[in-house]
Amino acid sequence: MKKISEDLKLKIIAEYKTSNISVHLLELKYNVSRPTILDILRKAEQYEQGIKRWKLRLKDKETNKFNIIFKNYDLLNQVKCEYEKFTNIKVIAQKYFLKVEIVNQILFEHFKFYKRTSGETWHLQHPSKQKTNFRKKFRNYVSDVEIEKIIDSYKNSGDSYKTIAIKMGISKRTVCAILKQNHILRNNKSSRMLNKRIKESNQINEIIQNLSLCDKIVYDYTEKVLHHIFIAKTYSLKRIIVRKILERLGIKIRTAKETQHLKLHKALKTKFGPIKLYEYNGQRFQGSYEIRFAAWLTSKKMKFRTHGNIEFFKYVDNNNVKHTYFPDFYVEDWNTYIDTKGYVREKDLLKHKLVSEQNPTFNFKIFAKDELIEPLKIFGTKIQTAKELQKYEVKTLVQYSDNAIPVAGVETGKLI
């Protein structure tokens, strides 16, 4: 970059500030490059002010131009006459070498003319091709009662104007004109969406009022644990309709995976509750604690019995209600009935106490998580344990139903 003296810099700044000279003229006058001049002006904070001054000058020029045009009454009248002859605004602007904005100001601000659309201008230019006002014409053969029916059907029934035209036996154009006159005609996309929502809402209301069908849907979803897609197919309904019926009745929608798990647990609910089952050495176990405890006993070569091969015990709680207690294991080497628990609650301790007091000839013991430290590590680390448990897990309903664990003495169908 060429070095410039301080005097020359001050001279450039002063001239740019006081006069209306541009950067280009300064470049030519002082034989200094444009970037150098711009750098000098920006450092002196004069360039932005110069741009503001330039914009003001430009605005003043336009204002002066407008004033000159608006004083030229002959030109104004000529523009007015052209517009009254139904000439297009762009054509007027080209004819008199004016901007479209200036023509708009002359016509709509100065003369207060009504702004026509291009379509209206064309119709005025071609009066022979202009059609009669259809909105007034349909009044001759559509009664007020029919108009009310059309409006009500369009607003509340979710019908499109084409469907209404077929129902009423009149043309689509007539229905469209009636809806436009009442300012309720929607565009195609929003109309389709709204019509769809209205129809769905009406269908849902009908099904909810039809108590027998509504009860069947709720029963299938809650008691039979069927997925809402399967229910929709069964009753020839849309999936979204079944979903919305259940949501409106305050029932939470399950995922397919949740339905599968719930169905699995539902099949076992009367006997086992919502737990995983495992098969180890030809025997079935409820939960991971039981299978690991059984594997530990087997490794220690202890004799034990489990589930269907164990005695059950009757006991009465503090409210004089009869119950049945089913232990998890009977270990012959210890002569003890054992329950394995990950977390021992107060009601478990109370039940165990009542069973022990009412059956004093037998030994009962609860093995909590703290007492199962060695058995829980029988398969190795947590990762190794998870892999082993996957091998022994019973995953299908067929496996459950084919060889389900027999539970001795179950009368009420509940495991207590």
Decide if 154 contacts 161 (C-beta within 8 A): yes
pLDDT band at 399 (very low <50, low <70, confident <90, very high): very low
Q: Which residues of 366-403 are buried (b: 16+ CB within 10 A; e: fewer)?
A: bbeeeebeebbebbeeeeebeebbeebebeeeeebeee
Tell me how many domains the chain contains: 4
**Are 285 and 246 part of one and the same domain?**
no
For the question of whether the overall pTM of this predicted structure is more than 0.75, the answer is: no
| pLDDT score, position 409 | 33
For 404, which DSSP code?
A: P
Please give the mean pLDDT across all residues of the chain: 75
Cα dihedral 167, 168, 171, 175 sign = negative
**Are 225 and 348 part of one and the same domain?**
no
Q: What pLDDT digit, counting tens, does each position of 22-40 carry?
A: 777 888 888 888 788 777 7
Answer whether residue 60 shows pLDDT above 80. Answer: no
Token look-up 């084919």 returns 402
Collapsed DSSP state (helix, strand, coil) of residue 293:
helix
Residue 239 lies in a domain: yes
**Are 294 and 277 part of one and the same domain?**
yes
Q: Taking residues 332-360, what's their average pLDDT?
A: 88
Q: Taking residues 173-189, what's their average pLDDT?
A: 73
Answer whether residue 17 shows pLDDT above 60. Answer: yes
Highest mean pLDDT among 113-122, 252-261, 269-278, 346-355: 346-355
Q: For residue 88, give its domain range.
A: 6-123
**Are 275 and 381 part of one and the same domain?**
yes
pLDDT above 70 as % of the chain: 75
Q: Pick from 241, 266, 291: which residue ends a domain?
A: 266
pLDDT band at 403 (very low <50, low <70, confident <90, very high): very low
